Amino acid sequence: MKALVTGGSGFIGSHLVDILLASGDEVVVLDRIPERYRQPMTEVDYRFGQFSDPFILAESLVDVDIVYHLASTTVPSTSNLDPAGDVQDNLVGTLRLLDQMMKSRVRRIVFLSSGGTVYGMPAKIPIPEDHMLRPLCSYGVVKVAIEDYLHMYQKLYGLSPVILRPSNPFGPRQGHLGVQGLIATLLYKALKGNPFVIWGDGSVVRDYLYIDDLVRLIRLAGCSDAEGTFNAGSGFGYSVNEVIAVIGEVMDVTPAVKYEAGRSFDIREVILDISKARVAFGWTPETSLRDGIRKQWLWMKANAQSLDDPRSPEKQ
C-alpha cells in the first residue's frame, strides 16, 4: 500500500511513518519542514511545502492508495489569536486536499480531528462520539468543520473517511515549548532543573494516550473498511497533580511546583469513551501512563542536545 502522510515530519506523523514502513507500506511525507529530531530516512519520499499547494498535492498523490491527514498549522491554545488564518490554512487547505484527492481518484482518508477540543464542556464522562460538538477554540471549530466536509464528500463524491479524535498523545519526539503537550513540557523543565509552572490548582483532568498506541490505531483504521468517527484515548483520566506525582516517581524526586491563576478556557475534565474503537478495530491501549512517561523521560535525557538545537523550529 502507498500512503501519503500530511504532517509526516511532526510528532505524531513521524511515529506513524515508522509503523507504516515497518508494515511494508510505501510512504510519501508532505510537510513544511524536515523532522527536527532525526535525519530524513532513505525509504521515505519527502515533499516539502504547503499541503494546500495544488501542484505539490498532485505530485504527492500519484499512485497513492490512502491519505493520513495529520497536518495542522495551529494548536488549541493559540488558534484563537488568528481564527481567519486558522480557517485559511487548515480548513481551506484541507478542501484543496480533498479536491485533489478526487481528481487523483484517491478515496481513502484517515483524518486526525481532536478529542480534546471538539466536544467543548462535556455533559457526560466518559465522552462518547455522539456527544454534542460545541468547541471553545478556533482549533476545535475548524476540526468540526473538516469533519463535516468529509461527510459531505463521502455522500457526494464517494470519499471513504475515517475520523479519529485523539485525546492527549505523548511520547518521544514531542515538542516542549508549553503550547501543546503537558508531559513533554514538564519533563523538559525537569531536565533543566526548573520548577513546574501550572495554571490553576492542578485538578484539571485529561486523558493521556502514549504515541505508539495512537499510531497503531491510526494504521488499523486505515487498513480497515470502517468509516465514521472514533475516539482515540486511554479511557482513563489523570489530573495535572497526578501526572506530576508520576513524573516524580519516575525521576525519584519531588518536583518543585509553582501554581498560577487558572485559565478560563481550560475545561475541567476530558476523558474519552473508546469502546467504539475497541470493537471496530480490535484495538486497546497497551502502555500505561507511568511506563509511557518513563520512555519519554529516557528519550529526552538521551537527546538533550537536540532538544535545544536552535537550528530546527519546534514541531508538534
Query: Does the pLDDT value for residue 90 go beyond 90?
Result: yes
Give the phi and the psi of residue 168 in degrees, each rounded to 5: -115, 90
Share of the chain above pLDDT 90, in %: 82
pLDDT on residue 147: 98
Which of 103, 104, 107, 78 has the alpha carbon at shortest distance from 90? 78
Read off the pLDDT of residues 248-305 as tens digits, 9 standing for 90 and up.
999 988 999 999 988 776 789 999 999 999 999 999 999 999 999 999 999 999 988 7
Fold designation for 2-307:
Rossmann fold (3.40.50)
pLDDT on residue 180: 66
Mean pLDDT, rounded, for 184-197: 92
Q: Check whether the bond before 126 is cis (ω within 30° of 0).
A: yes
Amino acid identity, residue 139? Answer: Y
Over its C-alpha atoms, the chain yields an Rg (Å, rounded) of 19
CA dist 262 and 275 (Å) reads: 32
272: β partners: 127
Maximum Cα interatomic distance, the chain, rounded to a whole number of Å: 57
Which of 172, 272, 268, 180 has the alpha carbon at shortest distance from 232? 272
Amino acid identity, residue 43? Answer: E
Quickly state the pLDDT bin for 311 (edges 50, 70, 90).
Answer: very low
Quickly state the pLDDT bin for 177 (edges 50, 70, 90).
Answer: low
Give me 144's grid cell: 468540526
- Rounded to whole angstroms, what are the CA distances from 69 to 18, 94, 110, 263? 16, 9, 6, 30
Please compute, for residue 282, the number of CA atoms within 13 A of its CA located in the half-sphere on the CB side. Answer: 3
Mean pLDDT, rounded, for 65-72: 96
Catalytically active residues, by annotation: 139
Q: Is the dihedral of CA 164, 135, 8, 89 positive or negative?
A: positive
